[in-house]
Structures are given as C-alpha cells and as structure tokens.
Amino acid sequence: MEKAWVEARFHDIEENYKIIKDKIAEAAIKSGRNPSDVRLMGVTKTVESIYINHALDLGVDLIGENRVQEFLGKRDELKLDGVEKHLIGHLQTNKVRQIVGEVDMIDSVDSVKVAAEIGKQSLKRGIITDVLVEINIGGEDSKFGIDPSAILDNIYQMSEIDGIRINGLMAIPPICDDDKENCKFFANMYGMFLDIRAKKLDNVNMNILSMGMSGDFENAVREGSTMVRVGSSLFGRRVY
C-alpha cells in the first residue's frame, strides 16, 4: 500500500470521526438528551485492520463485525485492549460455537433457537453471553429479526434461557426517502423498548437500543437510540 494513500485515508477517518461525534452530540442535545447516553459503534466489516486500528487510536472503543469468520480472521491484528467487540450480523446456529466467548455481545439474536444455542455454548464454557434481540421493525422479507407482533412472546421465551443475558434491542429499519417515515420506525422501536423495560422481566435488562447507521443515525438519536452503528461514514464507502 502506498504510504501517502494510507495517510490520506487516516486523515479522512479522523475527520469523519469528529464530524460523526459532533452530529451525535447535536442530535442528542436538540432532543433533550445527554450526548454521553449515545455510544458510537464503528462497524468494521470489510475494513482492513490498519484502518480499524487507526480508528481505535482515535478513541473508538466499540466495534461491530458482521461475520464470524471475518472477525476471527482479523482480530489478532487489532489493538483491542479496552475495546468492546460485538457481533452484529445474522448468526447461523452452526456458527454459534465459534463466536461464543470471543465477543462481548451478540447483537443479532433473531430467534429463540439461536438464543438457546448461545445459552448452551455459554454454559459449556462457564460464561454468560450478553445479547441484544434483533427486531425486523419494517417487517421486510429481506431482513432478519423477530416480527414486532411476536416480540413479547419471544422475549419471554428467551428470558428463560440460561447462559444468556438480554440487554436490549437492535434494528435495521427500511431505507426511507423521507425523515418522517424513517423516524416512525425508530419511534416504534423506542416504544417497544420502553414497554418491555416496564415489564421488569427476570434476566432482561432494557439498557441498550441499537439503531441508526450512516444514513440515519441522527434521526435514530432523536428517537431514543443509545447505540449507533456507523460504518461507511466513518471508514469510507465499502468497495466490496
């Protein structure tokens, strides 16, 4: 890799990071929230380790990877001291064994079946795995996640599983042309988050509401997100 090119991209990441943090703070303040209540996750899929490490040097302390194999393949090259690592992509049951114990949280739990497998593999290792439950808030066929109408029933079932701890919800809403539509999905998520929290179920803490990506994280913050997942706006457009 040419040095000048790498440095130019380092510079871009640094600028992007500042802009994103400012935008999060501004959206939080505008909606009467505290900027420190919103965490920024750097989404590192397809990003080379050298650039991820640069972001970690800048202060990014939470990363999300989509694929088990990709994460396990590059993590030895990463400066992960003090950095929280989450799996955010769809997890197949047969891959659970490989990732339990390797990340701090699995944010993409989209069925009771996968939750049960995470519990089973966690107990084998003598640990409890922190998870988020993914909701298919737009009811899209193309997306994973639990249907909003089934969420309570699913959360009840998951709350009985040993070896996992539910920490909140995650969602990827449909791409919307206008902010109003976009905000409606986020507001629905926030409503569900509060409803479930109010039930005070054993083994269910509703502390994290992970929603908002490069194109819509400001809307998500205004509607109550506590964790935004930003990839391309931070690292640059993904080319593969």
Ligand X SMILES: *Cc1c(COP(=O)(O)O)cnc(C)c1O
45 binding ligand X? (CB under 6 A): yes
Nearest of 131, 124, 129, 162 to residue 146 by alpha carbon:
131
- 72, 144, 232, 236: which one binds ligand X (CB under 6 A): 232
Q: Is 143 in the site for ligand X (CB under 6 A)?
A: no
Question: What residues from 4 to 43 belong to the interface with ligand X (CB under 6 A)?
Answer: 43
- As a whole number of angstroms, the distance between CA 38 and CA 125 comes to 32
At closest approach, how far in Å is the CB of 230 from ligand X?
5
Our CB check for ligand X shows the closer of 112 and 172 to be 172
- Identify the DSSP state of 177: S
Does residue 225 contact residue 214 with C-beta atoms inside 8 Å? no
User: Cα 92 to chain center, whole Å?
Assistant: 17
Q: Cβ closer to ligand X: 13 or 163?
A: 13
Q: Which of 49, 53, 66, 157 binds ligand X (CB under 6 A)?
A: 66
| Binding segment (CB under 6 A) for ligand X, from list 10-18, 116-124, 190-198, 228-236 | 228-236
Phi first, then psi: what are they for 71, rounded to 5°?
-65, -50
Site size toward ligand X (CB under 6 A) is: 14
Query: Applying CB under 6 A, which of residues 40, 213, 220, 227 lies at the interface with ligand X?
Result: 213
Task: Give the torsion through C-alpha atoms of 18, 230, 188, 112, to 10 deg.
Answer: -140
114 binds ligand X (CB under 6 A): no
Count of other CB atoms within 10 angstroms of residue 83: 16
Minimum Å gap between C-beta 200 and ligand X is 28
**What is the rounded distance in angstroms from the CA atom of residue 77 to the CA atom of residue 190?**
37
Instruction: Based on the shown chain and the rule CB under 6 A, indicate whether residue 159 belongs to the binding site for ligand X.
Output: no
Site of interaction with ligand X (CB under 6 A): 43, 45, 66, 88-89, 172, 213-215, 229-233
